[in-house]
A = this chain, B = another copy of it.
Amino acid sequence: MYNTGMLKFRCIKDQYGHLTPIEATNDIPFEVKRIYYITNVESNVTRGFHSHKKLHQVLICVNGSVKIRLKIPNDQSTVELNDKSEGLYIGPMVWREMYDFSEGAVLLVLASEHYDENDYIRNYDFYVNEAKKTFDDESDI
Asked if A84 lies at the interface with its beta carbon under 8 angstroms from chain B, I say: yes
Chain A contacts to B: CB under 8 angstroms = 13, 15-26, 31-42, 45, 47, 62-63, 84, 101, 104, 106, 108, 110, 114-115
Neighbour of A37 across the interface among B13, B15, B25, B84, CB < 8 A: B84
| Contact indicator A32/B24 (Cβ below 8 Å) | yes
| Contact indicator A17/B42 (Cβ below 8 Å) | yes
| Contact indicator A37/B19 (Cβ below 8 Å) | yes
What chain B residues lie within 8 Å of A84 (beta carbons)? 37, 39
Q: With A17-B101, A35-B35, A37-B108 as given contacts, are A23 and B62 in contact (CB-CB < 8 Å)?
A: no
| Contact indicator B21/A41 (Cβ below 8 Å) | no
